[in-house]
């Protein structure tokens, strides 16, 4: 069973399972604890009714204390295992895993939003949000794909099949600041077959003034209103 008190001693494994260093985890913890207390006040039960006994009484949950709750949801987000597998890792049933995932995901989202590190999801608001930061306006845009279960419907199979990855996948387009390494924009999810440029065109992304945008050949012909776009060129191998 994964326990925070034990896992934090192995920093390499901690990073591999959560995607965060121990220092980053500890920086996120206060915001997560505050968001959890706000969403689930200790004077209320899970159903929202007033407690008849002091909070903390009774049998302790396997995701107690708050560090274990944050560890649980970060491991789920980073590794995305089946709920049965997650249950084996944390010593609970599949139903219990499902309950805690739905309980903790909104809390994590609220905590990250409060810290100002959540990426913008509306392309038309991207420039406005970026004006609040002091980072240089250097960005790179790219498409990301992750495998998904093959649909049973033949039409959906063709739609979600990515010839590039040779697998069925979901696709998102992300924009990252090349200096701060922060993901500033995350597009809605598209079927894996959708071309990267088409996603960017559909989302109507508005960039900050004087932005420099780096892109690859998947965005050939994508020329938004920025100061400059930069695309690498392939070296031409001379014929012998």
Rounded to whole angstroms, how far apart are CA atoms 218 and 233? Answer: 12
What's the pLDDT tens digit per position in 125-152?
Answer: 999 988 888 888 999 999 999 888 888 8
What is the pLDDT, as a whole number, of residue 43? 75
What is the pLDDT, as a whole number, of residue 50? 77
**Residue 60 DSSP class:** P
Rounded to whole angstroms, how far apart are CA atoms 136 and 234? Answer: 27
pLDDT tens, the chain, 240 aa long: 899 999 999 999 999 999 999 999 999 999 999 999 999 887 776 667 777 766 666 666 778 889 999 999 999 999 889 999 999 999 999 999 999 999 999 999 999 989 888 899 999 999 998 888 888 899 999 999 988 888 888 888 888 888 877 889 999 999 999 988 889 999 999 998 999 999 999 999 999 988 999 999 889 999 999 999 988 877 666 555
Q: Which of 113, 120, 109 is nearest to 203 (CA)?
A: 120
Q: What is the 3-state secondary structure (H, E, C) of 211-222?
A: CEEECCHHHCCC
Rounded to whole angstroms, how far apart are CA atoms 69 and 73? Answer: 6
> Kindly report the CA angle at 96 between 111 and 152, in degrees rounded to 5?
90
Rounded to whole angstroms, how far apart are CA atoms 127 and 225? Answer: 11
Domain spans of the chain? 4-52+59-114, 123-230
Whole-structure pTM value: 0.73
What's the pLDDT tens digit per position in 33-59?
Answer: 999 999 988 777 666 777 776 666 666
What is the pLDDT, as a whole number, of residue 33? 95
Percent of the chain scored above 90 by pLDDT? 58
Rg (alpha carbons) of the chain, rounded to whole number: 22
């Amino acid at each position: 069973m994964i326990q925070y008190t034990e896992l934090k001693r192995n920093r390499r494994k901690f990073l591999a399972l959560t995607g965060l260093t121990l220092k980053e985890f500890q920086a996120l913890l206060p915001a997560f604890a505050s968001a959890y207390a706000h969403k689930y006040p200790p004077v209320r039960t899970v159903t929202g009714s007033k407690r008849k006994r002091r909070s903390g009484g009774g049998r302790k949950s396997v995701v107690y204390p708050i560090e274990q709750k944050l560890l649980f949801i970060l491991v789920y987000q980073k590794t995305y295992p089946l709920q049965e597998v997650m249950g084996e890792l944390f010593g609970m049933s599949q139903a219990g895993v499902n309950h805690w995932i739905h309980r903790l995901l909104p809390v994590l989202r609220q905590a990250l939003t409060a810290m100002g590190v959540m990426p913008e999801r509306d392309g038309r608001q991207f420039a406005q949000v970026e004006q609040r930061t002091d980072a240089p306006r250097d960005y790179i845009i790219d498409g990301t794909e992750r495998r998904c279960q093959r649909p049973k419907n033949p039409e959906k199979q063709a739609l979600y099949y990515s010839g590039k990855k040779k697998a069925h996948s979901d696709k998102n387009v992300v924009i990252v600041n090349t200096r701060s390494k922060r993901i500033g924009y995350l597009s809605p999810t598209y079927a894996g077959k959708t071309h990267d440029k088409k996603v960017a065109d559909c989302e109507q992304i508005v960039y900050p003034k004087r932005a420099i945008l780096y892109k690859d050949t998947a965005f050939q012909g994508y020329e938004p209103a920025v100061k400059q776009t930069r695309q690498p060129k392939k070296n031409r191998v001379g014929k012998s």
